[in-house]
């Protein structure tokens, strides 16, 4: 996968210069592929205590398959089976040193073994303090294609620093959309001042306002494809990509490449904002997505949906809408989540039937 790395304290809950380090070990040199490279850290020999913080450093060298250092991910678990393991740290990208290239890099991960983000649909990202003496597995991987890289001189430090309090909960999704609109643009590489070279990509625009002024975190969840989120203030021109751009993100801490999160975006009442949701590349495909928010107020669509059961937007509630809903429902498309609870089930079916019967 290709992305320009941007890191904020709110997005990863990570801080440099952690104090009070209590345990340090060197895992040596690792050959890392897109399949998890796992190392047993011999937890029985780790001194007793509740470890809440960590620092990991790596001398990273690209291997085959054209990897980038921004595509590195590490995690800590209590077992090798990631389907059942307890995550002391969910997979995260480096907090310092990563580059959107294959150049050698000195990578650093700093942070806490604590929950980092939450939505109604996803729940908290995994993060449970580690008790010394229990099993501890170090997991490393590259995320692009079939690439591989050398993670040399892997140093792991565990500490007793107190994590910050868990963040607030993201709202239920306030918009469900689909990037398969037939509209294409060449997106930016986040806030790096450059344009993508792997497009163009399909996109959907969502105009909205906020009910209270303040700082907001916005997330898009795209369970079926690799999505990308841009936020514009006032107006959006797909041919003038950097004008009015105030925030952008590729991969967020919620669902990895299946999510994008922008943090600490100041928004004012009375101002129109535009969320532009697209695929990462021309080969990433299109699919459904939801938008979620965390802030002092609530986002509202400009104009808002005037007739929710008119799914095809032709101004008439008829059999075409009914059969379209059945197709979306059977496909698990988020547009069939009629009650916006993040789950497509019988409640959505009956709520749609009621709205359909009522008409507009």
Residue 207, both tokens: 């105009």
* Residues 149 and 26 occupy one common structural domain: yes
* 35-52 mean pLDDT: 92
Domains in the chain, number: 3
This prediction has a pTM of 0.55
DSSP lists the bridge partners of residue 117 as: none
Q: Is the CB of residue 127 less than 8 Å from the CB of residue 89?
A: yes
Q: Report the percentage of the chain scoring pLDDT > 90.
A: 39
pLDDT tier for residue 6 given thresholds of 50, 70 and 90: very low
User: Within a 10 A sphere around the Cβ of 343, how many other Cβ atoms?
Assistant: 11
Length of the chain: 360
User: Domain range for residue 353?
Assistant: 305-360
pLDDT tier at 4, thresholds 50, 70, 90: very low
Half-sphere exposure of 133 (CA within 13 A, CB side): 5
Q: Which of 98, 128, 159 is the last residue of a domain?
A: 159
320 and 293 belong to one structural domain:
no
**97 and 30 assigned to the same domain:** yes
Cβ atoms 37, 30 nearer than 8 A: yes
| Contact status, residue 115 vs residue 90, Cβ threshold 8 Å | no
Pick the last residue of a domain from 116, 140, 159: 159
321 with 249, same domain? no
Residue-wise pLDDT for 170-189, tens only, equals 665 678 788 888 889 999 98
Q: What is the mean pLDDT of the chain?
A: 82
Q: Which residues touch 338 (CB under 8 Å, ≥6 apart)? A: 308, 325, 348, 349, 351, 352, 355
* Whether residues 228 and 182 fall in one domain: yes
Of 127, 159, 191, the residue that ends a domain is 159
Q: Residue 354's domain is classified under what CATH number?
A: 1.10.1330
pLDDT value for 115: 60
Q: Give the CA count within 13 Å in the CB-facing half-sphere of 338.
A: 24
Q: How much is the pLDDT for 171?
A: 60
CATH of the domain at 199: 2.60.120.380
Q: Are residues 133 and 192 in the same domain?
A: no
Q: Are residues 22 and 98 in the same domain?
A: yes
* Cα–Cα distance list, 153 to 41, 57, 107, 150, 298 (Å): 15, 8, 11, 10, 47
Residues 56 and 115 in one domain: yes
């Amino acid at each position: 996968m290709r992305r320009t790395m941007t890191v904020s304290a709110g997005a990863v809950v990570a801080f440099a210069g952690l104090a009070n380090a209590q345990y340090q070990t060197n895992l040596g040199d690792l050959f890392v592929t897109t399949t998890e490279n796992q190392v047993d850290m011999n937890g029985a020999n780790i001194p007793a205590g509740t470890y809440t913080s960590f620092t990991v450093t790596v001398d990273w060298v690209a291997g085959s398959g054209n990897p980038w250092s921004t595509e590195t991910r590490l995690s800590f678990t209590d077992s090798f089976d990631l389907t059942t393991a307890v995550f002391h740290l969910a997979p995260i990208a480096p907090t310092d040193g990563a580059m959107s290239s294959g150049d050698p890099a000195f990578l650093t991960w700093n942070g806490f073994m604590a929950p980092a983000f939450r939505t109604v649909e996803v729940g908290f990202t995994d993060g449970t303090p580690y008790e010394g003496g229990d099993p501890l597995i170090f997991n490393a991987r590259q995320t692009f294609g079939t690439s591989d890289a050398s993670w040399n001189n892997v140093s792991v430090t565990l500490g007793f620093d107190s994590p910050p309090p868990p963040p607030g909960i993201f709202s239920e999704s306030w918009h469900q959309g689909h990037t398969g609109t037939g509209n294409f643009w060449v997106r930016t590489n986040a806030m790096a001042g450059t344009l993508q070279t792997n497009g163009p990509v399909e996109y959907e625009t969502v105009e909205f306002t906020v009910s209270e002024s303040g700082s907001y975190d916005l997330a898009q969840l795209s369970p079926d494809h690799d999505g990308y989120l841009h936020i514009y203030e006032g107006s959006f021109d797909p041919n003038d990509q950097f004008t009015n751009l105030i925030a952008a993100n590729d991969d967020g801490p919620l669902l990895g490449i299946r999510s994008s999160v922008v943090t600490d975006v100041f928004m004012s009442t009375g101002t129109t904002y535009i969320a532009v949701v697209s695929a990462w590349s021309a080969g990433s495909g299109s699919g459904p997505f939801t938008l979620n928010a965390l802030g002092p107020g609530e986002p509202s669509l400009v104009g808002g949906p005037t007739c929710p059961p008119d799914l095809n937007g032709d101004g008439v509630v008829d059999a075409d809408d009914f059969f379209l809903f059945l197709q979306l429902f059977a496909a698990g498309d988020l547009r069939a989540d009629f009650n916006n609870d993040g789950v497509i089930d019988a409640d959505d079916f009956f709520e749609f039937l009621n709205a359909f019967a009522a008409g507009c």
